[in-house]
Amino acid sequence: MKKNTNVWIGIILSIIIGVIIIYSIEYDKSFIQISIAYLIYILPIIFLSSFNSKFSSFILALTTILIAYFLYKFSYFDSVIGIILAIITGGALNYYRVSKAKGFKK
């Protein structure tokens, strides 16, 4: 039963991502802004469970706040779509792959 649930979740996530990409194309959103925001946020979201220290959490929060300020200041609103795509794909990868993997132990 667990395997079928994972398949259905994958199908639903792919439909959501496809709809977001089609929306971006149809309404002439900036592909460069979407790509840059996606690339900035995909790795921190994938490895979100690895941030155990206060310093790394502080750096992630600070850069997120600064990036959000600059996006708002320069009206780069299309990059929000890239952040949403990074949250969807990175969250799924984090939950189904990274958090389930066992670390190396001596």
CA gap 34, 64 in Å, rounded: 16
Q: What's the pLDDT score for residue 103? A: 59
Please state whether the predicted TM-score (pTM) of the whole model is above 0.85.
no
- For 83, the token pair is 């952040």
Q: What's the pLDDT score for residue 98? A: 61
Q: What is the mean pLDDT of each run of 10 residues along the chain (106 residues)?
A: 72 91 92 91 79 79 88 90 90 73 59
